[in-house]
Structures are given as C-alpha cells and as structure tokens.
C-alpha cells in the first residue's frame, strides 16, 4: 500500500512539475498537438494561385520537383526550410527562410507576419526520408496557415536537378 502511494505521489509530482515547466518554458509545446500523423492525400495536387479553394480543406499537399520549381519561379509564396540552422547554412534553396521545426518558438515569430501575408507556403527538408517538412506543415496548418505545400524530395532532389543552392545563415 505504501509502495503504491509513493508511486502515485511521484507520478503526480512529475505531472505537476512537467506541465508547469512546459507552460512557462520558451521551448514549451502543445501537450495535445499532433503534428506527427501522416495523411494519405492520394493524387491531389496544388494547382496554383487561382485554385486555392481546392486545397483549403487539406492540411498538407505534397508536390514534386516540377511543381516546387514553378512555385519558386513564379514567387507564389514563402519557401521554408525545416532543417537545422547548420544544415541551412551548409546550403539551402535560394530565397528559402529557416524555420527549424524543433525550435519553432525561436524562428516562427520572426517569420509569422511574412507567412501570414503569403498566399501559399512551400516547405522542404533534407530528402525523401525526412519527415520534418511534413511535421512543420501540419503545425503551420494548425496555426491557421494554408495552403501548405510540401516538397517531399527536399534539398537532395533539388541538387540532383543541378540547381544552385545558397549558402550562409538566415539574415532576416
């Protein structure tokens, strides 16, 4: 009985401390947020500026290289890099902004206005195996931003098409 009471006491104290700390920590996260679920979007593709209605209900739209390229060329919206600051500095798609998914509290406020004003958002990370662009897309959708496009091939795919990359840190 004493053992059970002690275990319950430890669990209760842990919950109180963790939730309190998370509330006031600059790195705190939404306890019941779920940016981790993957969705099956079938073959739906984003058509461009004039057909935003198509994607309003969809949290994330996956796009291939061609579509991502057109998005960037036509300056259809803001391009975000979900990787680490170090990876970003090593090379990123020209014009992309750094929004490191695991430290959104630091990077998001600086870009919030720009993202809000942007008609669409394109996100990428490392390569086809990287899920961070999708997690970031889910998170931005939850924050009310849409449409959100994910360039699943990421920087590796970009490089395989022999397109230029920009080096250096974010300077906004």
Partner 1 sequence: MKKLLLHPIMLWICRLAVAYMLIYAAVQKIWMPLEFARLLKEYHLLPNQILNLVAVVLPWAEIVCGFCFISGLWLLGASVLLSGMNTIFAFAIAYRAWLIISETSINFFDLSFDCGCGFGVVYIPTKILENLILVGVGLIIALSKMRVQNKNGAK
- Spatial CA neighbour of 94 closest among 111, 109, 110, 81: 81
Cβ closest to partner 1, residue 74 vs residue 128: 128
Tell me which residue has tokens 């004039």: 50
Cβ closest to partner 1, residue 33 vs residue 166: 33
3-state secondary structure of 123: strand
List interacting residues with partner 1 (CB under 8 A). 2-3, 5-7, 9-11, 13-15, 17-19, 21-22, 25, 27-34, 36-37, 101-104, 135
Shortest spacing between CB 142 and partner 1, in angstroms: 12
Per DSSP, 103 falls in state G
Shortest spacing between CB 152 and partner 1, in angstroms: 17
Cβ closest to partner 1, residue 37 vs residue 172: 37
Strands 61-63 and 78-81: unpaired
Cβ closest to partner 1, residue 39 vs residue 70: 39
Q: Which residues pair with 166 in a beta bridge?
A: 92
Strands 121-124 and 78-81: parallel
Cβ closest to partner 1, residue 19 vs residue 165: 19
Shortest spacing between CB 35 and partner 1, in angstroms: 8
Which run of H or of E encompasses 122? strand 121-124
* Residue 1 CB-half CA count within 13 A: 0
Shortest spacing between CB 47 and partner 1, in angstroms: 30
Cβ closest to partner 1, residue 16 vs residue 165: 16
Shortest spacing between CB 138 and partner 1, in angstroms: 10
Shortest spacing between CB 131 and partner 1, in angstroms: 8
Burial (CB < 10 A; 0-12, 13-18, 19+), residue 39, is exposed
């Amino acid at each position: 009985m004493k053992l059970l009471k002690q275990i319950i006491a430890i669990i209760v104290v842990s919950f109180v401390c963790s939730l309190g700390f998370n509330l006031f920590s600059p790195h705190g996260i939404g306890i019941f947020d779920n940016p981790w679920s993957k969705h099956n979007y079938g073959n739906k593709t984003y058509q461009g500026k004039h057909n935003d209605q198509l994607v309003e209900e969809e949290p994330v739209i996956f796009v291939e290289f061609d579509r991502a390229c057109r998005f960037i060329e036509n300056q259809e919206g803001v391009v975000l890099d979900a990787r680490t600051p170090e990876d970003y500095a090593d090379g990123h798609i020209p014009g992309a902004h750094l929004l490191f998914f695991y430290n959104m509290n630091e990077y998001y406020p600086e870009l919030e206005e720009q993202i809000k004003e942007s008609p669409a958002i394109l996100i990428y990370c490392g390569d086809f195996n990287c899920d961070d662009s999708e997690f970031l897309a889910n998170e931005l959708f939850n924050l009310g931003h849409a449409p959100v496009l994910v360039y699943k091939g990421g920087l590796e795919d970009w490089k395989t098409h022999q397109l230029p990359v920009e080096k250096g840190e974010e300077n906004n």
